[in-house]
Every structure is written in structure tokens, then in C-alpha cells.
Amino acid sequence: LKNLSLLSPEQVELAKMLLEMGQSHLFEHWPEPGVDDDEKRELFNQVARLNSSYPGGLVSYIKTARELLADSKAGKNPYDGFTPSVPSGEILTFGDDTFVQYEDAGVKEARKAAFVLVAGGLGERLGYNGIKVALPSETTTGTCFLQHYIESILALQETSCRLAQGDGPTEIPFAIMTSDDTHSHTMKLLESNAYFGMKPTQVKLVKQEKVACLDDNDARLAVDPHNKYRIQTKPHGHGDVHSLLYSSGVLKEWHDAGRRWVLFFQDTNGLLFKAIPSALGVSATKGYHVNSLAVPRKAKEAIGGITKLTHQDGRTMVINVEYNQLDPLLRASGYPDGDVNSETGYSPFPGNINQLIFEIGPYLEELTKTRGAIKEFVNPKYKDSTKTAFKSSTRLECMMQDYPKTLPPSARVGFTVMDAWVAYAPVKNNPEDAAKVPKGNPYHSATSGEMTIYKANSLTLRKAGVKVDDPVLQVFNGQEVEVWPRIVWKPKWGLTFSDVRSKVRGNCSVTQRSTMVIKAPNCHLVDLSLDGALIVDDVDGTEVEVVGPVQNKGWTIESVDYTNTSVPEEVRIRGFKINKIEQLLKP
Ligand code: UGB
């Protein structure tokens, strides 16, 4: 009590709140005033931050924690009363007429969209030292994920605004959710690269705060083991993005400016923008309030399953069931084998890739009620079966795809399925873990992330009429992958399938050992037969025609073991490097 005199009136209020919420252990052993006074005040600065960054404040956090911890202790299943079944969604085939129609609709709509990248995660599964958005998406050009995302948004903006002929918005805003782990690195990456061509005012960083850790089932806040005047904190999960868009006023700003869509995406998916235009087209055409992108899912793959849940009382919802919960849910509800492949070779439940498209109007209306609070969960690791003590402190967590859980049944919630080679090539697993992935399941590693980009571009060109040679199989970092020709283009060359198709003429062909990089937006391939490396540079948007045969020694791929520390980490985690021997440079 003597220490109260050190605190401001606001801090005294916070202290009273903590006492009422059973948190006296945070300061009951404080020494007399005069000892560590600044540190004591600093604890209250931290408490104020934890209180203001959580919808409903710490009181709400502690109450929810007690409820969820009690449920967890009682072994209550969050899906009690629900029966899972396979939902039906829009299934798209890349390049067919329906796909092209949706792409056209999506590109028109894009100027009314805003993009949100969630990039606050450390990527513990990958174990990379830097931020994941700074990793090269492929090493042929070395373009990092963030650059690729920004260039894709700018290409969409340019095409969409051109189609609108000056009517309506001219800029697509881009928000990035960072955390203390990623914020300064993300800022530095943007600043040192002139925002990769985007106007700095177009990019908005919102930082998520960590949440307080919990020591026991009474939700006593954990004291930081390194500093007795701090509360230990841990990440709360990507679900924070909703409360941040709401509390920062960004969402309201977008809505007031007449924007119609917000598109969420994750930190390392080099294919995503191949799927965005058509998926946005689906949202606009079907009038979906929520549209999740999905890909065929292999059983036990570490991506959630999109599931229809029907409650005993008749309620239904189509929602992601997270990968660690799908198997137990299925076993408990009439699928004795749990999460297994069907006769198609895939799980019957489409895989959630956490690319979400929301209509802003209904989204903002909902957040005005909830302030962006998302259904949370807790995952304590208990010391023993009495479930009375934890091995280490825990905390509440939330996921952005759980947003529809609180929506009324009238909400239009749908999903769109595309082949994985079109839409999904994340970089999540380190080489050792990737090499242990069951045969036939995707590796989700830096190796597969890069190789799938080449595959997708090769298959896109094939669909556009180019004769592209079959891939060869090679093993890098213990993972067997298909090696297609290394074909890469800038988004402003081939934003949509129609764009690509319109730029290829006559009989074109590319051999497996070839590399092709197209940077010029106005490049046409005419009767090209490529056997080697071809780089088409962008010289102020000049028209370039690449005609006829091109043959040279090309660029080769050399294996590099991930344990070889003389090679930079971002290279060795993929298990190969590219040797640039000879190429034709155009124009
Ligand atoms: N992220 C944050 O921004 N903040 C955080 O506190 C945590 C993460 P992970 P996860 O598509 O493959 C998700 O760790 O959570 C960002 C879906 O839940 O890569 O294991 C982080 O920077 C799952 O259903 O993935 O699994 C990254 O951009 C499935 O769809 C993103 O959140 C899976 O992704 C995802 O974080 C998938």
C-alpha cells in the first residue's frame, strides 16, 4: 500500500483492478518505496498497455482465461454437440472459361479492395533468423516475398484502375500486421527498398501486442522469469488482426472511402496472387461476406480443414477446424479412422490456406459489436493428469479464420477451392522436418516453395499454348521435388491467365534445363524456342518481341546441403543455388 504513492491516479486504478481480479502476487512482495521505484512504475506502464490492447481490457482477458482453463481442465471439447460433414464450395479449374470470367470480375473489383498481410509470426517451424517476408520467394531473381506482394498489388491496381477509366479509387491500400518480433525489420526492409515502388503513404503498419501469460487455472498472471517487475508475455496469434484493424480506425477509413473488400494473406506464399483475382471474382459474383481460399488437402497436412459443422440444435456453420483438432473431432463423430485420405488420395475436407476475403460493410458492422474480439482458445501443457499445474506458463490465443464463428446464420460464408499448384506454396518447415514429411504430402519448405513457383509458371504457360518440357525429379535437402524450367515473370507482365495468354504467339517451346525471366510488362513471345537462359529486362515499359530460337549454356542448379554454413542461410535452407553461366539479355 505504501507503494501506491509512487503511482499516478490511472495506475492506482489499474492496481485496484488487479487486486480485485486476484492478481496481488504481482506486487505484494515489493520492497519499500525508494527501492526500484522506476521499475515498479514500469510494471504499471506494461499493465496499461496490456489493458488497452485487448478488447474489454485485462478484466475481460482474465475472466475469459478462467472460463477456458476450466473447460480445458474438464476436458470439454469445443466441438461438443457438433457433427462434421464435407461442405460444398466453388471449385475452380485454372484457365478454363469460368476461371477466366471470375478473374475478369475480380480484376475489375480490385480497385475497391484493401490488402492485409499478417506478418507478426516468428516462423518457429522454419527456424529462419530473419523475418520471413524478406526471404527470396525464388532465387532465380532473388525477389523477396514482400517485394512480390507489393508488385502484385500494384499490378492489380494499375489494371483495375485502367479498366475503371478514372472512375473511383486509384490506390489499393496495403496494411501489414507486425509484432515486436518483426516490426523494426519489416520497416527497415520497406525503407531500404523505397517501399518496392509503392507510395509510403499507401502502406500502413499496425503492430500487435503480446498478451499476458497465465501461471495456473485461476489465471494468475505470470511474472517474467527474467524481471520480477514485469508480466511475462507471449504472442496471441494472427486473430489479433481484426481488433487492430478496428481499433486503429483503418477499417472505418477504408469503408468511408467506399472500399468494398478486405483481403487477408500470410507471410510466405509465392503463388497466392495467381488465385486472388478469380477468388475476388467469386466473392463479388456470389455476394459472399466471407470467402476462404482452400486447396485439396492431404490427410494430416498441417493446414486446417474447411468443415461444415451441424449442431444438435440445428445451427450450421462452415468453418476451419485447425489441423490439430480435425482428427479428434472426426474420431469422436463417426469417422473411426479420423483424418485420412479418401479414395481420391486427398482428405475430403478442403485445406484452409488462410487467404480470406471479407466484404467490408458487414465486417465493420460486426466489429462494431465485437471490437474485433475473436473466439480464443488455450492450450496449457499440464504437469500431470490432475491438470492442476502447468509445465510452463500458457496464454490465450486466437486465429484470424475464426472470425465467422460469431456470425449469425444469415451471413453468407463460402469458400473457393483451387489446385494447390495454383494457390499455395508456403515456406513453413525447416529442412530437417520437411524431409520427414510423409511421402506424397507437400513439404511446405523453402525448397518446395521455390520449386512450386516454377511449376505453376510452367503449367500456366502450357495452358497458354507453350510446349514446356516435363520436369525431372531431384532431391534437395532430403526432399524429392519436381524441377521444372525456372520460369519467372513480374506481376505486371502476367497478372492474370488472360494476360499471359495474350502475350504468347505462334509455336513457343521451353526445355526443362531453361530459365526465363520476364520483367518487361510489354513483352511478347513469338515462336520462341528456348533452350538456355533468357532475361527480358524492363526498359521504361518499351515493347519487346522475343522471336525464334534462343540457345546458350544457361543457368544451372547446384545442390547445397543445409548444414553448409559457408552458404547464406536463405540459400542453404532450399538446398540448391543457381549458377548463372550464360544467358541472352533482351531487349
Ligand atoms: N502470425 C501473426 O501475424 N501473428 C501471430 O501471432 C502468429 C502468426 P503460421 P499457423 O495456411 O498453412 C495457419 O505460424 O498459425 C502470422 C492457419 O491457422 O505460419 O500454424 C504469421 O506471420 C492454418 O489453418 O501458421 O497456421 C503468418 O503469416 C493453416 O491454414 C500467419 O500468421 C495454415 O496457416 C500464419 O502463421 C496455412
Q: What is the pLDDT of residues 290-341, one digit of tens each?
A: 999 999 999 988 899 999 999 999 889 999 999 989 998 999 888 899 999 9
Distance 338 CA to ligand 1 centre (A): 23
Q: Is 119 in the pocket of ligand 1 (CB under 6 A)?
A: yes
Residues of the chain with pLDDT below 50 are none
pLDDT score recorded for residue 80? 86
pLDDT score recorded for residue 198? 98
pLDDT score recorded for residue 3? 85
Q: Is 354 in the pocket of ligand 1 (CB under 6 A)?
A: yes
How many other C-beta atoms can be found within 10 angstroms of the C-beta atom of residue 282?
A: 23
pLDDT score recorded for residue 170? 84
Entry pTM: 0.95
Distance 497 CA to ligand 1 centre (A): 28
pLDDT score recorded for residue 409? 84
The residues, ordered by sequence, that sit 6+ positions from 96 with a Cβ below 8 Å of its Cβ are: none
- Reading the block at residue 493, the C-alpha cell is 507482365
pLDDT score recorded for residue 124? 85
Q: Is 72 in the pocket of ligand 1 (CB under 6 A)?
A: no
Q: Is 121 in the pocket of ligand 1 (CB under 6 A)?
A: yes
Ligand 1 atom nearest the C-alpha of 353 is 11
Q: Is 117 in the pocket of ligand 1 (CB under 6 A)?
A: no
CB 354 within 8 A of CB 400: yes
Ligand 1 atom nearest the C-alpha of 304 is 24
**What whole-number distance in Å separates Cα of residue 229 and Cα of residue 305?**
42
Q: Which residues pair with 222 in a beta bridge?
A: none
Nearest Cα to Cα of residue 495 among 227, 43, 172: 172
Query: How many helices and strands in the chain, by DSSP H and E?
Result: 16, 30
The residues, ordered by sequence, that sit 6+ positions from 559 with a Cβ below 8 Å of its Cβ are: 476, 575, 576
Ligand 1, atom 26: closest residue by C-alpha = 303
Q: Is 136 in the pocket of ligand 1 (CB under 6 A)?
A: no
Q: Is 426 in the pocket of ligand 1 (CB under 6 A)?
A: yes
**What whole-number distance in Å separates Cα of residue 48 and Cα of residue 62?**
15
Cα of first residue to Cα of last residue in the chain, in angstroms, is 77
pLDDT score recorded for residue 565? 93
Residue whose grid cell is 467490408: 360
Q: Is 356 in the pocket of ligand 1 (CB under 6 A)?
A: no
Q: What is the pLDDT of residues 380-415, one digit of tens each?
A: 999 999 999 999 999 999 999 999 998 988 899 999
- How far from the centroid of its chain's Cα atoms is residue 237's Cα? 12
Distance 224 CA to ligand 1 centre (A): 26
Distance 266 CA to ligand 1 centre (A): 7
Q: What is the ipTM of this complex?
A: 0.99
